[in-house]
Amino acid sequence: MANTRGPNRDLRTLLTEAAWTASALARAVNAAGAEVGIELSYDRTSVAHWLSGTRPRHPVPQLVGEVLSRRLGRSVTATTAGFPEQRNAAGSSPAGPPAKDGAIAHLAELAGLDAHPLQRAPLHRTPYKSALRHIPEWRDPAAGGTGPPSGARVGRPEVDTLKLAVRGFTTGLDRHGGGHARTALCVYLADDVAPWLRSPASDSVHRELLTESAHLVFLLARKYADSALHGIAQRYFVAALGLANEADDRTTWAIVHRGMSCQALVLDHRRAALAYGERASLALPRTAPAPARAFVTAQLAVAQAAVGNRRAALRAMGEAEQAADADESDTGPFASYPVAALKYQQAQTLHRLGDLPGAVAALDSCVLHRPPDDRRGCALTHGARTSLLMSQGHVEEASASWREFLLARSGLRSAQVSHIDRELRGLFLAYRAQPAVRALLDEVRTGLGNS
């Protein structure tokens, strides 16, 4: 940190307006740092230094702006918080968003920066923005889209290749977690997908390329979210929205919003999660396939339950179940909604509504339907089941479920699963006097679930 200016009066004024102490601001910044995978330990002394004119390192000024935006309900940037943007050697802001307009140009620039070894680290520290004003609304594609150049240089083979890539990267996320092949997907988007989107093609092929590209970008966003890098995940969700919009694909647009609702709930931004879920539900066309309706509506149920809307949550879950019953689709990752996934959402909804036995029963069903290759899904399911059983005092049954969690999590590169792992180990330490728990803790110490 360097102090080259006088006192930061802008930050002091904002703190007064927010009715926050220096300690409160420090806690909020630490929490916002955790959302993007940064462990911070600021306290009131740190904030006192900032108020005296010291500038913290990137991305802390941006985090300060974001947490003040959340507190005040309006946009506060690092600059308005008294930390003017600094430029790097190349003359650009280290955390600056891609500047190009247009969905394809936006994707090319974002993925290009992410693929660059020197640009990647500051980009990954981008703060997660909880306000929906940063998320684009649907626009008529004909009003802004330019369409592909004339000619036919790319066609059906490229569309089929992207579909195979979507299937492959989806399988990788399920089997290995979000930390697996993230950079590979980013480079693929920058080096192969973006050039195809810029190449001459028929209108129908171009739209299909846009849709499949949106699916790939959505998967990359999910990978980053599973890695607890939520700011860059949000950037890719927005990029996927742009591609879906340009493809005039409202179903994919709704699916992306559904993913953003899940992300917001993980971060406990419940109102934002509900807003994203409602956007997804409203955007979904009446002609959307049954799996997409079930997928979107099940998440809306969880979001409604998270804010205490019991009746609306149960109604949405009932609609999701009806749509799932009507599912006659194939098994593609964006063309089906597995029974296990629906049961997991049912469990989340019931848990948030206070029906713990019902949530455990839903997870029991989820376990039966999870394919073994979905190791991440198995870990999340057993983790949730273990926690619920422990909260009801069923320690022996929870121990057996924890063992299954540990076996499933072995080798996974998933920050979300690792967080659950730490929480469960803490829960069981309180019961280490019980023989079954003590034996399992001994196994954990000798390597169970750590490979």
Q: What is the pLDDT of residues 359-393, one digit of tens each?
A: 999 999 999 999 999 999 999 999 999 999 999 99
C-alpha distance from residue 295 to each of 230, 340, 343 (Å): 21, 12, 11
DSSP 8-state class, residue 449:
T
The radius of gyration of the chain from alpha carbons, rounded to an integer in Å, stands at 23
Of the candidates 374, 373, 352, 375, the residue with the CA atom closest to the CA atom of residue 362: 352
- Give the 3-state secondary structure percentages of the chain, helix then strand then coil, rounded to 5: 65, 0, 30
8 Å CB contact between 93 and 195: no
Full pLDDT tens readout for the chain, 451 residues:
555 568 999 999 999 999 999 999 999 999 999 999 999 999 999 999 999 999 999 899 999 999 999 999 999 999 999 998 765 433 344 444 455 568 999 999 999 999 998 889 999 999 999 988 888 888 887 655 556 665 558 899 999 999 999 999 999 999 999 999 999 999 999 999 999 999 999 999 999 999 999 999 999 999 999 999 999 999 999 999 999 999 999 999 999 999 999 999 999 999 999 999 999 999 999 999 999 999 999 999 999 999 999 999 999 999 999 999 876 555 678 888 999 999 999 999 999 999 999 999 999 999 999 999 999 999 999 999 999 999 999 999 999 999 999 999 999 999 999 999 999 999 999 898 888 888 888 888 887 766 5
Give me the half-sphere count of Cα atoms (radius 13 Å) on the Cβ side of residue 313: 21
Integer Cα distance of 191 and 193 in angstroms: 6
Give the pairing of strands 2-3 and 54-55: antiparallel
Task: Name the token pair of 180.
Answer: 């697996």
Tokens of 315: 């109604």
134 CB neighbour count, 10 Å cutoff? 12
Residues in the chain: 451
pLDDT of residue 149: 64
pTM of the full structure: 0.91
Which pLDDT does position 374 carry in this prediction? 95
What is the pLDDT, as a whole number, of residue 364? 97
Q: Would you state the pLDDT for residue 417?
A: 96
Q: Which long-range contacts (CB under 8 A, 24 or more apart) does 403-409 make?
A: 403/440, 403/448, 404/367, 404/378, 405/379, 405/449, 406/444, 406/448, 406/449, 407/448, 407/449, 408/375, 408/378, 408/379, 408/382, 409/375, 409/379, 409/383, 409/449
Question: Over the stretch 26-57, which tens digit does the pLDDT of each residue have?
Answer: 999 999 999 999 999 999 999 999 999 999 99
Q: Residue 163: which residues within 8 A CB-CB, separation 6 or more?
A: 212, 332
| pLDDT for 145 | 55
